[in-house]
Amino acid sequence: YFNGNLASTQTTNILNTASSLFQLGNVQGYFDDLKIYDDALTATQVQQLNSHNNLIQPTSLVDHYTFDNTLMGTSGHILANVTGNYVNDRNGNLNSAHNVSNTSTNIGIPNLPIGNDSRTLAFWYQSNAQSTHSLFNYGPSSNYFGVVYVSSPSSILVGSGNSADYSTPITYTGNWTHV
């Protein structure tokens, strides 16, 4: 889903097999309101996240990072390897989005979905540069689950291991995008 609209569907065989190490992008851009669920959200729930930023059934929420002047999630885990560098979020709120600035941000989050377990990762992202970069990944490098933005042709790759399970063309706008 991009901005609440279904971009593609795909079933994969095996996603990441282990690890609670989550890495948030090595990009030039901003992240806001990262939510990790251990369930596949419905189209209605994704549209609610995109338009209202809330859900009917938040019981499957593993962790939530608002980035409202903090790198701590609702579970109490803190993003590591960085100093908080905040910018205005998509609604113009001061210090309410995380400026990644080409620095990988790592965090150990217990209970991340692994293997073929259902999952949804939802977040807002704004790129500062039209270049290829990883938005997030987790799991060992030989068998991770992640999302990569590719600049030419402009597309999003979702994959596991060292290959993309599917690719979806997108239009680069430089605006906030809900992924």
Q: What is the dihedral of CA 133, 15, 2, 105, to 10 degrees?
A: -40
- Please answer whether residues 82 and 105 qualify as being in contact, where contact means their C-beta atoms are separated by less than 8 angstroms: yes
Does the structure show a pLDDT above 80 at 54? no
- Residue 96 confidence class, pLDDT cut points 50, 70, 90: very high
Mean pLDDT over each residue of the chain, to the nearest integer: 77
pLDDT at 16 over 60: no
Is the pLDDT at 73 greater than 80? The verdict is yes
Which of 30-44, 86-100, 112-126, 132-146 is predicted with the least confidence, judged by mean pLDDT? Answer: 132-146
Between 12 and 153, where is the model more confident? Answer: 153
Measured CA distances, 168 to 21, 35, 134, 161 (Å): 26, 21, 15, 18
- Amino acid 94: pLDDT: 93
Q: How far apart are CA 56 and CA 75, in angstroms?
A: 20
Higher pLDDT, 58 or 52: 52
Q: What is the mean pLDDT of residues 9-35?
A: 72
**Of 10, 95, 90, the residue nearest 50 (C-alpha):** 90
The three-state secondary structure class of 78 is strand
How far, in Å, CA of 1 to CA of 33, rounded? 16
pTM (whole model) above 0.75: yes
- Over residues 119-134, the pLDDT tens digits come to 888 889 888 777 777 7
